[in-house]
Amino acid sequence: MEGQYVYEKLSVKDFMTKNVIYCEVPSTRTEVLSIMKKHKVTCLPVVKKGTRKLVGLITRFSFLEKPYEEQTALVMMRNPLHVSPYNTIKDAARLFIEHNTRYLPVVDQEELVGIITISDIVYKLLTSVVFHHPIKELVERKVLAVWNATPINVVWKIMELAKVPTLLVINTKLEVVGTFSISDLFNHADVIMSEYKSSLKASTEGQEWDWDSLTIVYIGSKKLTFPEKPISEIMSRKIDVVREETPINQCAKKMRDLDTHLLPVVDINGNLIGVISDFNLIKFLLNR
């Protein structure tokens, strides 16, 4: 069976995470960050306290966009886009692309029943042998990259202005030496809020909050600043490359194995000619 037909009878419920981790409102950013860290998730649906009624969506990026807000209700995105478990995978892929989002809560009869992400589709579906088409037509030719000695605060500003979650990192030899994402920022950062420092130390997470890593992010009451350390100190060095001839399923497997959503694309001589993202890959489902 050709790859373009395989997904047509598959629904969101076949790929979604059913035991979804969520948070409630009212709550505070400290409580939400604790849940994210405990369960190692980057996004949480938000429900009304004591119910499963979806009222919002909150991601790590939400905290960086609104570092001065304390209440979850003021940080979260209200009335988020969502899908039914009975929508097709093609429906979900279209919503991801059209609304530039990576997460879709799944709602049935006005209750939260799961969540589906772009990674769910790429890792669980596009790794199938039927998706043997080359990635050539899906490659993004405009590449945003930064020098590995660029200060973290400058890189964050570039990402904020360009509204991109991931960047390639290159050295003076113009070689790709890593990637940098919002996840890298949080995985290697101490999030310090002066007004919550004592409560964090006394939290039920105990030593889990004493992150033994670089102090990267300082969140005060009104601003977000970064020290001028080079990005090379916290970037991800797990990197692999693909070529235009690489099949979609092989590209998807590399993303899954490296736990990344962006790969450099090189020519036969190893020269960087573009990038391929998981967003690019799921476009294949819409183009057939």
Q: 170 with 147: CB under 8 angstroms?
A: yes
Domain positions in the chain? 3-124, 136-179+231-285, 186-225
Q: How many CB atoms lie within 10 A of CB 196?
A: 17
Alpha helices, DSSP H only, in the chain?
A: 3-6, 29-39, 60-65, 72-75, 89-98, 118-124, 152-162, 182-187, 197-201, 248-258, 278-282
Preceding amide of 264 cis, omega within 30? no
Task: Tell me the residue ranges of DSSP E strands in the chain.
Answer: 23-25, 43-48, 54-59, 77-78, 103-108, 111-117, 145-147, 166-170, 176-181, 191-193, 217-219, 224-225, 262-266, 272-277
Q: How many CB atoms lie within 10 A of CB 222?
A: 7
**CA Rg value for the chain:** 20
- Whole-angstrom distance, CA of residue 235 vs CA of residue 25: 34
Domain 136-179+231-285 has CATH 3.10.580.10: yes
Q: What is the pLDDT of residues 89-134, one digit of tens each?
A: 999 999 999 999 999 999 999 999 999 999 999 999 999 988 999 9
Distance of CA 66 to the CA centre of its chain: 18
* Closest listed residue to residue 33, CA positions, set 80, 65, 72, 73: 72
Q: What is the pLDDT of residues 205-219, one digit of tens each?
A: 333 333 333 344 444
Low-confidence ranges of the chain (pLDDT < 50): 1-3, 190-223
For residue 61, the one-letter residue type is F
Distance of CA 65 to the CA centre of its chain: 15
Inter-CA distances, 45 with 22, 26, 116, 168, 281, Å:
5, 13, 11, 29, 25
* Closest listed residue to residue 32, CA positions, set 165, 193, 143, 177: 193
- pLDDT value at position 157? 86
- pLDDT value at position 272? 92
Q: Mean pLDDT of all residues in the chain?
A: 84
| Tokens describing residue 144 | 């945003």
| Tokens describing residue 29 | 């950013």
In CATH terms, the fold of domain 3-124 is: CBS-domain (3.10.580)
Domains 3-124 and 136-179+231-285 share a fold: yes
